[in-house]
C-alpha cells in the first residue's frame, strides 16, 4: 500500500519487488512530500544509487544537476531523508512485445496518477513516445 504524495489517497500495490528487481517503475519521496516517478531496466538498487550519488555530488549545470538532486540541494534536505519504493514491475509479455515501451507507458501512467509533474512534483517532463 502506498499513499498519494500530496493527497494521501491510498493505492494498493500488486507486485513484490526487491532491490535487485529489474524493469520497474519507482517513486522517490522527499521530506516535504514531493515525489519523482522514474523507470529503469537495470536493478532498482543501481538506479537509486545513481540518484543518491547525484544528490551527494550535486553541482549546478553538470550531469549531477537533476530535478531530484536540485530539489534536495535547494531545500536543504539531506541524503538520509530520501525514500523510495517500487510502484510496478513490468514483466515480459507472454505473447511478446516491447518491454521497454510498456515500461515507458507505465511510467507516464504513474506520473499522471501521482501528479508528480512540476511544480507539484519533481518530474520535469514526460514523454508520449512510448505511445506511438
pLDDT score for 52: 97
CATH number for the domain running over 2-122: 3.40.1440
Locate cell 519507482: which residue? Answer: 26
Radius of gyration over every alpha carbon of the chain, rounded to an integer in angstroms: 15
Domain boundaries, the chain: 2-122
The pLDDT confidence band at residue 37, using thresholds 50, 70 and 90, is very high
Supply φ then ψ for residue 45, to 5 degrees: -60, -45
Summarize pLDDT for 38-50 with one digit per residue, the tens: 999 999 999 999 9
120 with 35: CB under 8 angstroms?
no
Summarize pLDDT for 72-121 with one digit per residue, the tens: 999 999 999 999 999 999 999 888 889 999 999 999 999 999 999 999 99
Amino acid at each position: 500500500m502506498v499513499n498519494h504524495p500530496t493527497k494521501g489517497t491510498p493505492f494498493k500495490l500488486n507486485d513484490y519487488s526487491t532491490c535487485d528487481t529489474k524493469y520497474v517503475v519507482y517513486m522517490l519521496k522527499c521530506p516535504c512530500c514531493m515525489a519523482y516517478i522514474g523507470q529503469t531496466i537495470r536493478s532498482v538498487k543501481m538506479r537509486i544509487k545513481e540518484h543518491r550519488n547525484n544528490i551527494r555530488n550535486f553541482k549546478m549545470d553538470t550531469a549531477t544537476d537533476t530535478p531530484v538532486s536540485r530539489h534536495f540541494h535547494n531545500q536543504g534536505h539531506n541524503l538520509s531523508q530520501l525514500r523510495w519504493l517500487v510502484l510496478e514491475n513490468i514483466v515480459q509479455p507472454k505473447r511478446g512485445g516491447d518491454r521497454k515501451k510498456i515500461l515507458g507507458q507505465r511510467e507516464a501512467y504513474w506520473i499522471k496518477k501521482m501528479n508528480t509533474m512540476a511544480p507539484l512534483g519533481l518530474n520535469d517532463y514526460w514523454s508520449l513516445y512510448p505511445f506511438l
